Chain A
Amino acid sequence: MTVGDLAADTALEALGEGHFRATLSRDWEIWGPNGGYLAAVLLRAVGAHTGLPRPASLQCHYLGVARFEPVDLHVTTVRAGRRAHSVRVAMTQDGDPVCEALAWAVGEPGDIEGFGHDTAHAPDVPRPEDLASFSELAPDDHERFRFWRNFDYRPTAWMSQEEWEAREPGEDAVARGWMRFEPTPVFDDPWVDAGRVAVLLDTFLWPAAVRAYTGMVPFMGPSMDLAVQFHRSATAAEWLLFDACAPVGTDGMIGGMSRVWDGDGRLVGSAVQQMLVRGVPPPHRPPEGEAG
């Protein structure tokens, strides 16, 4: 069984003047290359271009589906201040647009003094060591997409296939669980660390959304965009808790928000995302057994 390594699978070749090349790894396949994985590649390019140590935010438009092959990244500085850089990054494949993003990078914490507070509270859920892993709960689903092999994924609640198909809509459209990346759980590079957070923020809005429906949904919801706020580093946290909800689907779009917390209950990242509904069924049941 092969698994990806986020640092290796988002590595860049620098070609000069803001031009980078990466090769998208099939280990991150879920309806094509996972959107969070693409965001992680974009973040690597932003970090390599700016030289600043701290990702502050990323706003990404997903423009086309890429193959698991090389992609080109063109990065330009939109504005460079003393403490912060605004950067644009475009990912293309054979000239076709894959995604386009804006990002803010900021200086070391000591470069930006300021008032600080933290009133965010993590959801009260069991610890990962007290939960079963997705590979144990649904071994067939776990094996179906290579993407899931990159994690030890422990949903905070679970339904059997029969319970899932018989569920009643009406519970909150929420998905929660603990994730630890494999084979390498943490990364020292702050831009890889931010990519780790982006993967989780992007992935679970769909599993949250399908909670609002019953049975096997006859549609899918590819992401149109992802906008992330990075609050603090998580380089020391092997386990990350994601908390996603998708409360509104209307007129063909589903919107929702996600948060990622470290094992000490500190808010690491927040995101909001919009999906555009397509009237074709998803390739298979996603790991949406979470009951919140």
Chain B
Amino acid sequence: MGDFERDTAVEGGDGHYTATLSPDWEIWGPAGGYVLAVALRAAGAHSRFERPANVSCHFLGGARFGPVELAVTTQRGGKRAESVRVEMTQDGRPVCTAMAWFVSAGVDGWEHDWTERPDVPPPLEVPTAFERFAAVGQEPPVTYPFWDNVEYRPLQWMPPEEWERRQVGFPRWHCWLRYQPTPAYDDPVVEAARVALFFDIMGWPALQPAVPAAEFGTWMAPNTDTTVWFHHPVDRSEFLYLDAVTPVAVNGVIGSSGSIWSEDGRLLATGSEHLLHRAVAAPAPGEA
């Protein structure tokens, strides 16, 4: 099992940082959200400000689990905000490029919030995926190491044989998520990265209800880009409610969007993600 803060840590300074991608965050290779989180940590280490406003990331090539280098530059620095660019490479090959805005903690302004979290049961009233399998007398399938780091409580679930017979439905995925073994952190950049990671994960599971069962497992859709906008501070909310939809797939380009909410109902971030169809089956756990 990984530890998010440790496994996304960066070392260095003056715009040059290093990190080590941990195999504990494998989904089809290093999970894109994990790579994004490392890039955001590097941007945060470089910026004069500690409050991320947004981050956009292009995923450029698969990486190995091992050391990566991060070059960070300021695109524009003002009194209240700084735009930062990150280039992550491994052995000279591009892994991702990201841009992030950071703002001063002292920025104030008019306030409004008309958002309302969907009316869902509190997390501890929702069974975990393991509990759901156990309830129908089945062992959970072997999955990627990434999911060992997350307590996953799905709000929609059906037993495997029912899933195989399902009709195509609305492409939504919503659930409660909590990191383990450490659910929350003090560093606001780590907290933002903890939230940002899931915007890269959401598109594929949200897509699944719209995929005919016969097509499942014959293709995959790696991410091309993910963007996240941060709203309220995370404030150590251990459980995160993720609500994602993947409403449109046209000519192999698949668009997804979602929101993440705190346990007390505050909108923490919204985000979007693009996936590109590939007509090959996803690698099995450990095969990436």
A-to-B contact residues, CB < 8 Å: 54, 56-57, 59, 61, 63-64, 78-79, 83-84, 86, 88, 97, 100, 102, 104, 106, 109, 112-120, 169-170, 172-173, 209, 212-213, 217, 219, 224-225, 227, 229, 231-232, 247-255, 257, 267, 270, 272-274, 276-277, 279
Flag if B60 contacts A86 (CB, 8 Å): yes
CB contacts (< 8 Å) of B250 on chain A: these are 109, 116, 118, 231-232
Flag if B114 contacts A173 (CB, 8 Å): yes
In the assembled complex, B231 has its CB within 8 A of some CB on chain A: yes
Flag if A257 contacts B101 (CB, 8 Å): no
Flag if A61 contacts B277 (CB, 8 Å): no
CB contacts (< 8 Å) of B229 on chain A: these are 255, 272-274
Given contacts A79-B61, A120-B248, A249-B112, contact A224 B101 (CB under 8 A): yes
In the assembled complex, B127 has its CB within 8 A of some CB on chain A: no
Known: A231-B248, A247-B115. 9 other contacts (CB 8 A): A78-B58, A78-B60, A109-B250, A109-B251, A112-B276, A227-B56, A251-B233, A253-B53, A272-B229
Task: Give the top 9 A-B pairs by smallest Cβ distance, nearest first.
Answer: A114-B277, A114-B252, A277-B109, A112-B252, A252-B107, A59-B56, A109-B251, A212-B112, A252-B109
B-to-A contact residues, CB < 8 Å: 51, 53-54, 56, 58, 60-61, 75-76, 80-81, 83, 85, 94, 97, 99, 101, 103, 107-115, 168, 170-171, 210-211, 215, 219, 221, 224-225, 227, 229, 231-233, 245, 247-255, 257, 267, 270-272, 274, 276-277, 279
Flag if B274 contacts A267 (CB, 8 Å): no
Flag if A225 contacts B115 (CB, 8 Å): no
Closest to B56 in A: A59
Residue from A119, A209, A212, A229 in contact with B274 in the complex, judged by beta carbons closer than 8 Å: A229
Main secondary structure of the interface of B (DSSP, over half): strand
A231 vs B281: C-alpha distance in the bound complex, in angstroms?
24
Given contacts A79-B61, A227-B272, A276-B107, contact A255 B114 (CB under 8 A): no
CB contacts (< 8 Å) of A116 on chain B: these are 249-252
CB contacts (< 8 Å) of A272 on chain B: these are 227, 229, 257, 270-272
CB contacts (< 8 Å) of A102 on chain B: these are 56, 58, 97, 99, 225
Given contacts A116-B251, A118-B249, A118-B250, contact A257 B270 (CB under 8 A): yes
CB contacts (< 8 Å) of B272 on chain A: these are 227, 229, 270, 272
CB contacts (< 8 Å) of A253 on chain B: these are 53, 103, 107, 109, 231
A225 vs B102: C-alpha distance in the bound complex, in angstroms?
12
Flag if B267 contacts A276 (CB, 8 Å): no
- Enumerate 16 A-B pairs (CB-CB under 8 Å) in ascending A order: A54-B251, A61-B99, A63-B75, A100-B85, A106-B253, A113-B277, A115-B219, A116-B250, A116-B252, A120-B247, A219-B110, A229-B272, A249-B113, A253-B107, A276-B80, A276-B81
| Shortest CB distance B231–A (Å) | 5
